[in-house]
Structure 1
Amino acid sequence: MAVFNQVEFDNHEQVVFCADEASGLRAIIAVHSTKLGPAVGGCRLWDYAKDEDAVYDVLRLSKGMTYKNAVARLPFGGGKSVIIGDAKEIKSEALFRAFGKHLERLGGSYYSAEDVNITTGDVMMMHKETNYVLGLEGKSGNPSPFTALGTFLGIKAAYQHKHGHQDLAGVKVAVQGLGAVAYGLCKHLHEAGAQLFVTDINQASIDRVVSEFGATAVGIDEIYDLDVDVYAPCALGATLNDNTIPRLKATVIAGCANNQLAESRHGEILREKGVLYAPDYVINAGGIINVYYETKPEGYNKEQATKHVEGIYDTLTEIFARSESEQKSTHIIADELAQEIIAQGL
């Protein structure tokens, strides 16, 4: 399995493969950059089909965290971790404590937090073996509501740029994936008067959003063909690809999923189609912003965290304006902004 010659490797500072026979732990920790500070990024538990898929995923996510933290103006570098396995079968205190021991061995170059299929309770079990975890219960806690808020404000910023107003009443939004963040996003959208069209692999999640927010449920594949104004990818990545982009009718793409573009060229294809894309690591930075305020010497302050998250609206507005004036796709502008901040410092 090649690593160094993968495009996604992109000069990662460290990639660590972790195992613990007793608990069944198999994990990978990727540290992309510590230039702005210790690498920070959540831990994802996923049942990857093969190890190569896990390596690909963790490398992409880790680099994304470097850029996400930079554009969010946080004194963090970028890192990410994945635990391989079925969350319904392998979760145990022993597993998370074993993972915590591996975090401890890195000596603070990487701090983990919750991500897909990892709860704050799981993070607390890691915390029994290490202090190198964030998003702790009793401190900043669950970051999902802040990611949802930032994503909602990002949709408003995108709609404002594309259509000259941010009133979402009657706006049709297709939400793909209904995890904790997407549920919060749907709540915001519903309260703003948007019409919701939703899909997920979990029927219970669909039923909840249909019941509480009057959403219309659609099939997993049907979501791409809807005549809607906004497509909000909130599941796993790479849903913007050669197969799906020609089918999309939305003029705005803005959601909380990571790595939404299957390849960089797909961002340019969207721009040529006149579709405004909100770069994923910019719009979904609310959670990591909230976690940062846990590290403040004076202690966590929810009001300060919320105000910082609200700045996502302004950051996206800047990116959209630069994209238009420089005739470059928004994800390229976001990358350039991140690179400028990393080079110059905060």
Structure 2
Amino acid sequence: MQRLPIRSLAGLTAIGLLTLTLTGCGTRAGAAAHEAASTGADTTVRAQKVMRLTKVHQATGMTLLEGPVFDRDGNLLVVDVTAPPGEPKVLRVDVRKKTSRQVHTDARGAYTSAQFSPYDGRIYLTDFSHGDIVSLAPDGSDPQTFFSGEVDGARMNADDLAFDRDGDLYISDSRGMSEGEAKGRVVRIDRDGKNATVLADGLAAPNGISFAADYRGLWVSELTQNRVSYLLLDGNGGVASRHTAIRVDGGVAQTDSIAVDADGNLYQALHGRPAMVVYDRNGERLATVEIPARAAEGLESATNVAITPGGTKAYMTVSGPAGGYLYTFDALAEGIRQSNGG
């Protein structure tokens, strides 16, 4: 991985005492996106600004928003990967009132994703720099280390996170990114945190991870190869097969996080460009979600998205030297668990 001014799940430059190698739209736009989904045409959807959540931190020289996820009250939780100790590392956003407040901070975590467990209802965070999985009570209290240590002889660079229906964790491990080697893995951890296994290895900086709408497989984006792989699951906690499903023509941009809607469409975030591309489950490109040109200056990456559960309002995290922002657009289909951060 090259060191860049902004790295979403791809990597971070040095921050403070830690050196890390981390890296809705209006009605007309929403209607155009839905038409694209039905006709197979690629259309442009213009996202609209909701609010600026963060400024560049003086201590780290960056801000990088990630892992948007809705709680049961309809508030949006967001992580700031590069927030220094004492500043909010997890924020809760009231998208209607356009306000935010701190949920959690600590002395060492660099959190790149957040998810609520369907098993115990707690918030789970991936710490990229240490490979730990940390959990919090829904209100942000009671921080606990859920998992720490090596998996098959190597610590993880835990990036994104997806839960299966039973509450077991599936994690994209971006190890090898800084060396530019395909050492990345998909790791499965039982919901009790006692058993961690490698489901797939030899991946090129795996970043986004999401279950397909039917839970039969996993979509995994490989950042340094600009591709999305599909892992067909065997129903017994293993992988039956794996293949390259989508090759993303990103130009200077690279594949970041992934979300999936109720129709099985994939929302592929882009690192290096404040935009997302949307594909159907067969790899057909349906839409490109972009920030209006006049607002895009100082914004370098769209890292992730959460779609309102049961609705189509989508909220995208966007960051750069101008700060960390939330943008909104109309998704092509309703939000489900696989649409909710990760």
TM-score, normalisation: structure 1: 0.29
Relative to its length, the structure with more helix (as a share) is: 1
TM-score, normalisation: structure 2: 0.29
Which protein has the larger Cα radius of gyration, Structure 1 or Structure 2? 1
